[in-house]
Structure 1
Amino acid sequence: MSTDNGAFTGAPQGPQQPHQPRWAWWVVGIVVPLVGILVTVLVSRPGSSDDKADTADKSPAPAVTQSSAAAEPAGTEQSAGQAAGEPSESARAAKAAFGPKVIEADTTNSGSYIEFDTSEPVVVGNSTLKGADLIISASTGGSPDLFVPDSHMTLAPLAGSGAAPTAEECAASVERNGTYPLPATRGGRFCLTTTEGRTVYLKVNTAPPAGKANLEVTVWAA
C-alpha cells in the first residue's frame, strides 16, 4: 500500500514574526537610563521654579528708613540742658509756694495775726506771733480791717473783679499802691509783700464783725 503524500500533517503555519536583532535591545538598555539622568539634571538645575521660590522666601526684609518711620508728635522735643520731666523756667516762676487755698481767721476783738513766710499760713489769735505779716481785726466795732504790723506800706488793693493776678502783677501793685490799713470788705482783693519778700494774693470771701473770716490765699516764694 502506497503512502498518501496528501495526508494531513498538522495545522498550516501562519507567517512567521521576524526576530528582533540583539543590538536593538542593547540600544534600549542604554537610552532609557540616559533619559532618566537627563530629566534629573533638568529638574535640579539652578533657576528652576522651586529654587526661585526658595530664593524669594529667603530674601532679607527691606530696612525701615528715616522717611518711612512715624513722625514724632509735635511738642515732644526737649531743649539741650533740660532734663526729662523738668518744668520750664516760666513754669517754675509761676508755681505758687502755697495755694490758692482758703484759710480762716477770727475777726473778733483784737482779731487774728497771720504769718505767710512758712510752708503754710499760720493764724494765731493774739499778738504773741512774732513776724506776723498781716492782721485782720474788727476791734473798732464795725467791719473788720486789714493791718500790716509796724505800719509798713506793703498792702495794696486790687479791682474787685477780674482774673487772679500773677506774682509779678501783685508785686508791681504793691510797689505802686502800697498802703496801710484797708477795709476787709466782702469780695475785696489785695496784694501783700511779706517781711521775707514773699508775694501774697488775698481775696476776702466773708469777713463778719465777729467770728470767722474766710480768706482765699495764694503765696509765691521770694
Structure 2
Amino acid sequence: MSTDNGGFTGSPPGPQQPHQPRWAWWVVGIVVPLVGILVTVLVSRPGSSDSKADTADKGVASVPAQSSAAPVGTEQSVGPEQSGGRSAAQHGESAEAAKAAFGPKVIEADTTNSGSYIEFDTSEPLVVTNSTLKGADLIVSASTGGAPDLFVPDSHMTLAPLAGSGAAPTAEECAASVERNGTYTLPATRGGRFCLTTTEGRTVSLEVVTAPSAGPAKLEVTVWA
C-alpha cells in the first residue's frame, strides 16, 4: 500500500532569495550620477590643484615681462635728462668761449704822422706811437692827409667793415664778416664799425667814436678770446 503525498514529486524546494524592492534601484540610479557630477565639480573648481598649477605657471611667465619692461622705462626717462644735461653743458661752454676778454671799452690812439700801432693779443689793448711794436694787429694813421685810415700790418686780409647801425655784433658775426669780406685797409670814418682777426686768432669789434686828422682818435673796442 502506497502513501499519497498529495501529488508532489521531486526534491524539496531550497531556501528562496529575498525579493529587492523596486525603489532601491531607483535610489541607486539617482545617486551614482550625482556622485559623478560632484566629483567633476570638485576637480574643476578654481581651488583645485590643477588650477593652482595653471595660476602658478601664468605668474611665473608674467615676471620676465615685468622685469624686462622696467629697464626700458628707466632708460627712456633718464635718456632725455642726460641729453638735456649734455646740451646745457655744451651751451655753457659756448657762452664761456664767447665771453669778451676785454670791453666794450673806449681806447685812444694818436693819428698824427705815422699814427699808432695797436696790439689786441694782450690782457688789455696795447697802443704805441712808433713802429717798434712787434706783432701789432692794427695801425690808425692820418699820414696820407685828411681822415685817418685803418691798416693791417703786412697787408693781411683780416679787417672787415660792418653795417653802420644795428645791434653790436657777436664774436661769431665778426669772425664770419672777416671770412667773407676781409681786406687790409679801410677809412676810419666817424661812426664806422669794423671787425678784425688778430695774429693770434682773437676776434675784435671796433667802432670809431672820433677820428681827427691829427690827435687822439677814440675807438670803442671789444675783444673776444
Structures share fold, TM-score greater than 0.5: yes
> What is the Cα deviation at residue 195 of structure 1?
0.5
What is the alpha-carbon distance in structure 2 between the residues aligned to residue 119 and residue 93 of structure 1?
A: 16
Please name the residue that 1:147 is paired with. Answer: 151
Distance 2:119 2:94 in 1: 27
| Equivalent in the alignment of 2:176 | 172
- Map 1:42-121; keep pairs closer than 5 Å: 79=85, 88-121=92-125
Q: CA deviation at 1:93?
A: 2.4
Give the secondary structure class of the aligned counterpart of 1:130: coil
Query: Residue 100 of structure 2 aligns to a residue in which SS?
Result: coil
Superposed displacement of residue 180, structure 1: 1.9
The runs of 5 or more residues in structure 1 that have no matched partner are 1-77
2: CA distance, partners of 1:105 / 1:190: 16
Deviation at 1:141, TM superposition (A): 1.4
2:188 corresponds to 1:193:
no
Map residues 15-54 of structure 1 onto 2, 5 A cutoff. none
**Counterparts of 2:98 and 2:203 in 1: how far apart (Å)?**
12
User: Partner residue of 2:185?
Assistant: 181
Distance 1:166 1:152 in 2: 22
The letter for the 1-side match of 2:196 is L
Task: Please tell me the residue identity of whatever aligns with 2:169.
Answer: P
Q: What value does the CA root-mean-square deviation take over the aligned residues?
A: 1.9
Q: Tell me which stretches of 4 or more aligned residues in structure 1 moved more than 3 Å.
A: none
Structure 1 residue 79: Cα displacement: 4.2
Distance 1:90 1:195 in 2: 22
- Distance in 2 (CA, whole Å) between partners of 1:90 and 1:152 is 28
Q: Report the count of equivalent residues.
A: 141
User: What 5-or-longer segments of structure 2 have no aligned partner?
Assistant: 1-83
Q: Name the SS of the counterpart of 1:204 in structure 2.
A: strand
Deviation at residue 91 of structure 1 after TM alignment: 2.2
Aligned to 1:7: none
Amino acid at match of 1:194: T
Deviations 1:61-112 (A, max 9, x none): xxxxxxxxxxxxxxxxx948x89xxx92232022111111110000011000
**Which TM-score applies when normalising by structure 1?**
0.61
Matched, 1:134 2:138: yes
**SS of residue paired to 1:176:** helix
Q: Does 1:215 align with 2:219?
A: yes
CA distance in 1, matches of 2:121, 2:94: 23
Secondary structure at the aligned position of 1:170 is classed as helix
User: Identity across aligned pairs (percent)?
Assistant: 87
Comparing 92-101 with 175-184, greater Cα deviation is found at 92-101
SS at match of 2:118: strand
Deviations 1:47-72 (A, max 9, x none): xxxxxxxxxxxxxxxxxxxxxxxxxx
Q: TM-score, normalised by structure 2?
A: 0.60
> Separation in 2 of the partners of 1:94 and 1:193?
14
2: distance between equivalents of 1:119 and 1:95?
Answer: 14
One-letter amino acid matched to 1:129: L
